[in-house]
A = this chain, B = another copy of it.
Amino acid sequence: MKNNQFARLNADHQMVIEELQRIHFIDDSVQAASTPSAAYRLLLRKAFLNVKGESAFDAKLKNILAAPDINLADYLSSGQPVTRKVFYLVALQLCGFLADIDYDIEDPLAAMEKIQLPYLHARGEWDTDRLLDAWYLLLTTHTKGGQTFLDQLTNQGYFVPFYDLPADRKPLFFNGKAQAVFDTSRLIREVVYVESSVDADQDGMRDLLKVEIIRPEDTNKGLKVPVLYTASPYNQGINDEAGKKATHNVNVPLTEKKPDDVHYEDIAWKGRKCSLPDPRPVAGTTKDTCETFSHEWSYTLNDYFLARGFAVVYSAGIGTRDSDGIQTCGDPQQTEATIDVIEWLSGRRRAFTNRTDNMAIDAWWCSGSVAMTGRSYLGTLATAAAATGVEGLKTIIPEAAISSWYDYYRAGGLTLAPGGFPGEDADVLAIETLSRMKSAADYQLNIKNFFEKQMKQMARDMDRESGNYNTFWDARNYLNNVQKIKCDVLMVHGLNDWNVKPRQAEQLWQKLRHVPVCKKIILHQGQHIYINAFRSIDYTDIVNLWISHELYGISNGVKELLPPVIVQDNVVPETWHAYPDWSEPDLQKSTLYFSPGKLASEPDSHQILSFKDQLPEEVFNRYCAHVDQWSHDILDDQKNPLSENRLLLKSEKMTRDRIIDGKVGVHVRVASNRPFGLLSFQLVDYGEARRLNASPSPIQRLDLGYHWREDRLREFTLARFPTPFKMITKGHINLQNRENTWKVDELKPDQFYDIATELQPTFHKLVTGHRLGLIVYATDFGMTVRGNQPLRYSLALDHSFLTIPFK
């Protein structure tokens, strides 16, 4: 294990004393202790929560080594001093590390260094002040279980006596972060129906939105709490089967598009004026809801904070079970509905207790401060909400979020599926998430006809045939409104996320440069995953520090403490680096020139190389059924059925480690044998190496509080066996969209055109001895349409090159 903590505050001695008093580690008895060793025993006593009586406590101390030849019970009773070596040998054991495996019992400090655990450097006999400093530091240090030692104690019930603190002494912060002093067995769960500002199902009534609230019982005693709000279109259920049925066939030909002269202004979304029905009359007001729920769809990060003084609010939005409206897949109505919930939370909108009685209810328990959390579509709606500048929204923490839907279902003038979901499109997602379908009567009697009509319209508007950017997509491009963002932004994205691709985060990151808010980004080596259960990074602590500041206004210095960019190393496991920036626009780029089989540092070839796209039917069918096999073969430099369907160019071996930071540019002069065509590119790291597994491996249970919910601690580990290559990034372009994604260019058969495109942004370390490779091909079995047409592409090497942002 290697520990990387970014959210640990360094405390001076005064802060140590104050905060140890606050959480009752320092009390009268500790202060009265005659020796540091007596004080140490008292601190330890408080850390063994499961034993009553001195005998049972002593038995636990007897399990712990104080030195290679003596246990801690005997050591303490013999009156020997507290030293650094003793303290950290014990600390390693308290934190779950194993003798002989994680540390050498003769040299605990070597392990502290190796595991990257912080420690107090003071030598000699410690006085009580040193001991308390070290104890404080230990409480903030991550254990083998991937949480702070204080969280480990929390999970054993340390804060149970704090549950009864009066509301005005809650929440409780330690080391800048909110602590679990709220009783999760007494959480209040209730449902309200927010009256939205849209009528997406056009039934002449403002859409009601079901909102699920979970709040600490302390709010009933006067405490006002901020909210973690997760807008998840999935959380009232998903229509798997209906979605599957609606999925488009991708085994269709690529077709010629009629050239045009469209300008962006022609297709820009100008908004839509539609009259909004009157609000419902109010029959009365109440503080009591009349609906609850037993188990919500939940995000474990939110669960963690339910024990720590935050309410959590889930809303699935328009078109979902028990709400009105229809699914629109990211359009402005969905954004409106998303922020309507925030407006209610901050007192500027009405909600009702049920769908019929018109009894209004306020979010009287809410401080009015809201953060939005969640991954994928959930993070997307957080981004959409932030881009309205809505008041009350203090920060968003979008993970793997879409910033522009065009880049999710399209690219470069092509219909391009998210990785793993060929044939999915905006309409499929709308159908999948219209969970009103799960209420048979509501669906069949109220909405089915209208929705089906709308889906036909959406299928036309999204224009799968052309793949062009148009008004439909411009309406779903949150980047258009980034300048309105008023809240701070903490982004998370996977560098290997080919579902929501890295460009989604990078575009937002670039746009945010010019917006006066605080922004941070964490880039991990995962695919489309959450990272709050990772062992090697204190992501949950980072979020705690962030929202303790953003939502409770705690001055914990988080904005200065957190580096702007944190990147997980792609070579060494459990390693995270801090950087000032990602994908800097001004970074100097190196050029590598195309040459037969090579990426050369100087242009050296005037050849024309060509490749075909068609495959024998049997091979084609096999790859359609086994996209994984295709993904392997397209990169494999051994002869295989795809060898003639691509160009494979490789650089010289790297003579030193190089980092590619940002967007690789591809410039090619290309001809197609037909009046249409597409190119795909994959940038590849060639070199035998044990690489990180694609998915993290589970380690053990991760408790989110005391007798509360659990998660699974995970970590990326190295694959057991070396592999010869790994895709770094990829890109695609329709040869008829040479200028931009909305205007169609003519493509004359066999005529050469210069094409420039950027691959998906990345951050990749290419180590000494490895080669950078580029695969040029056409049909991408995982993403593009698969026409299996007799297409042939030719590249003029003397006008083809890569530009690479080597850091």
Residue ranges of A at the interface with B (Cβ–Cβ < 8 Å): 49-53, 55-56, 58-59, 62-66, 68-72, 93, 98-101, 105, 155-157, 185, 191, 239, 241-242, 289-295, 321-322, 353-357, 437-445, 625-626, 701, 703, 706-707, 720-721
- Of the A-B pairs whose beta carbons lie under 8 Å apart in the complex, a sample of 23, sorted by A's number, is A49-B294, A50-B294, A52-B289, A53-B290, A55-B356, A56-B290, A56-B353, A59-B354, A59-B356, A63-B442, A64-B439, A65-B441, A65-B444, A65-B445, A66-B441, A71-B441, A71-B442, A98-B239, A99-B444, A101-B241, A105-B444, A155-B294, A185-B185
Q: A64-B439, A101-B242 are in contact. List 8 more A-B contacts (CB 8 A).
A: A56-B354, A59-B355, A65-B440, A69-B445, A71-B441, A185-B185, A295-B703, A295-B707
Q: Within the complex, what minimum Cβ distance (angstroms) separates A109 from chain B?
A: 16
**Contact present for A701 and B295 (CB under 8 Å):** yes
**Among the listed B93, B294, B437, B441, which residue makes an inter-chain contact with A156, where contact means beta carbons less than 8 Å apart?**
B294
Give the complex CA separation of A706 and B293 in angstroms: 11
Q: Within the complex, what minimum Cβ distance (angstroms) separates A697 from chain B?
A: 12
Give the complex CA separation of A72 and B51 in angstroms: 56
Give the complex CA separation of A680 and B463 in angstroms: 60
**Contact present for B56 and A291 (CB under 8 Å):** yes
**Contact present for B625 and A721 (CB under 8 Å):** yes
* Residues of B with C-beta under 8 A to A353: 56
* Residues of B with C-beta under 8 A to A71: 441-442, 445
A157 touching B357 in the complex, CB below 8 Å, given contacts A63-B440, A444-B68? no
Q: Which residue in chain B gives the minimum CB-CB distance to A298?
A: B701
A52 touching B291 in the complex, CB below 8 Å, given contacts A64-B439, A438-B98? yes
* Residues of B with C-beta under 8 A to A55: 290, 354-357
Q: Within the complex, what minimum Cβ distance (angstroms) separates A703 from chain B?
A: 6
Q: Within the complex, what minimum Cβ distance (angstroms) separates A485 from chain B?
A: 35
Chain B CB within 10 Å — which of A49, A69, A101, A625 has the most? A101
**Among the listed B65, B66, B291, B356, which residue makes an inter-chain contact with A58, where contact means beta carbons less than 8 Å apart?**
B356
A441 touching B72 in the complex, CB below 8 Å, given contacts A55-B356, A357-B55? yes
**Among the listed B49, B93, B291, which residue makes an inter-chain contact with A440, where contact means beta carbons less than 8 Å apart?**
B93
How many copies, total? 2
Q: Which residue in chain B gives the minimum CB-CB distance to A288?
A: B52
Give the complex CA separation of A494 and B721 in angstroms: 30
* Residues of B with C-beta under 8 A to A58: 356
* Residues of B with C-beta under 8 A to A185: 185, 707
Give the complex CA separation of A93 and B441 in angstroms: 10
Chain B CB within 10 Å — which of A49, A55, A321 has the most? A55
**Contact present for A441 and B707 (CB under 8 Å):** no
**Contact present for A440 and B64 (CB under 8 Å):** yes
Give the complex CA separation of A69 and B442 in angstroms: 11
Q: Within the complex, what minimum Cβ distance (angstroms) separates A573 from chain B?
A: 16
Give the complex CA separation of A31 and B185 in angstroms: 36
A50 touching B105 in the complex, CB below 8 Å, given contacts A63-B442, A65-B444? no
A51 touching B290 in the complex, CB below 8 Å, given contacts A440-B65, A442-B62, A444-B105? yes
Q: Within the complex, what minimum Cβ distance (angstroms) separates A243 from chain B?
A: 11
* Residues of B with C-beta under 8 A to A156: 294
Give the complex CA separation of A60 and B242 in angstroms: 23
Give the complex CA separation of A186 and B167 in angstroms: 24
Nearest 3 A-B pairs (CB), nearest first? A63-B439, A71-B441, A52-B290
Give the complex CA separation of A445 and B69 in angstroms: 7
* Residues of B with C-beta under 8 A to A65: 440-441, 444-445
Q: Within the complex, what minimum Cβ distance (angstroms) separates A761 from chain B?
A: 33
Q: Within the complex, what minimum Cβ distance (angstroms) separates A252 from chain B?
A: 21
Give the complex CA separation of A441 and B94 in angstroms: 12
Q: Which residue in chain B gives the minimum CB-CB distance to A63?
A: B439
Give the complex CA separation of A321 and B626 in angstroms: 48
Q: Which residue in chain B gives the minimum CB-CB distance to A96?
A: B438
**Contact present for B291 and A50 (CB under 8 Å):** yes
**Contact present for B63 and A322 (CB under 8 Å):** yes
* Residues of B with C-beta under 8 A to A626: 721
